[in-house]
Amino acid sequence: MEMPDVTGGFVALLGLTFKEATADRVVITWRVRPELHQPFGIQHGGVYCSVVETAASVGGSLWLADRGTVVGVSNQTDFLRAVREGELTAVGTPVHRGRSQQLWQVEITDADQRLVARGQVRLQNLSPA
Given its phi and psi angles, is residue 47 left (phi above 0), alpha (psi -120 to 50 degrees) or beta? alpha
Number of domains comprising the chain = 1
Per the domain annotation, does 2 fall within a domain? Answer: no
Per the domain annotation, does 18 fall within a domain? Answer: yes
Query: Would you say 5 and 71 are in contact if contact means Cβ atoms under 8 Å apart?
Result: no
pLDDT in tens, 102-120: 999 999 999 999 999 999 9
pLDDT in tens, 51-75: 999 999 999 999 999 999 999 999 9
3 φ, ψ (degrees, to nearest 5): -65, 135
Per the domain annotation, does 98 fall within a domain? Answer: yes
CATH number of the domain that residue 60 is part of: 3.10.129.10
This model's pTM is above 0.85: yes
Interatomic CA distance for residues 61 and 110, integer angstroms = 26
